[in-house]
Structure 1
Amino acid sequence: MAATTTAERLRDAESAAEELRQALETLGVVLPSLRVDLASCTAEANRPLVDLGCCNLAMVRKLASVLRGCA
């Protein structure tokens, strides 16, 4: 069932962001700015987005390495 209220969309987006955070952490990847984009959870937008945020170059390279290993 699709989330319909702003609160439900926000909870769903927070849950998805946490799933991603945990999955990345098990691979040694930490995106310190990973968060829900609150503006995208409003009733008008109705499409929650997760902002992956900023990270340093070492973490970018670590993420690229992990992704190459999964290909």
Structure 2
Amino acid sequence: MHQLQEAEAAVAELRCALARVGVTLPSLGLDPVSCAGRQQGVLVELGRCTVETARRMAAALPGEESGR
């Protein structure tokens, strides 16, 4: 159960971080199939998003540093 609690906390952290940059992923959550299995651990399901949301996410990520 500890692994599930950690995964839920990670989803909550990601949801808050995305909200700070104006991004909402409606389908963000835990993958139910991975929650039932024990082999690979719990997976986070990011889900689908609009083109606008994809662009907002891309803009929120750091770019390449110059001089590399």
Which range, TM-score by smaller chain? Answer: 0.7 to 0.9
Residue ranges of structure 1 left out of the alignment (5+ in a row): 1-6
TM-score scaled by structure 2?
0.80
TM-score scaled by structure 1?
0.77
Matched residue, 1:14 = 8
State the one-letter code of the partner of 1:10: L
Structure 1 runs of 4+ with >2 Å offset: 41-46
CA contact under 8 A between 1:9 and 1:41: conserved in structure 2?
A: no
Residue ranges of structure 2 left out of the alignment (5+ in a row): 64-68
How many aligned positions are there?
A: 63
Deviation at 1:40, TM superposition (A): 1.1
Identify, as 1 or 2, the structure richer in helix: 1
Q: Percent of aligned positions with the same letter in both sequences?
A: 41
Once residues 39 and 63 of structure 1 are traced to their aligned partners in structure 2, the CA distance between those partners, rounded to angstroms, is 26
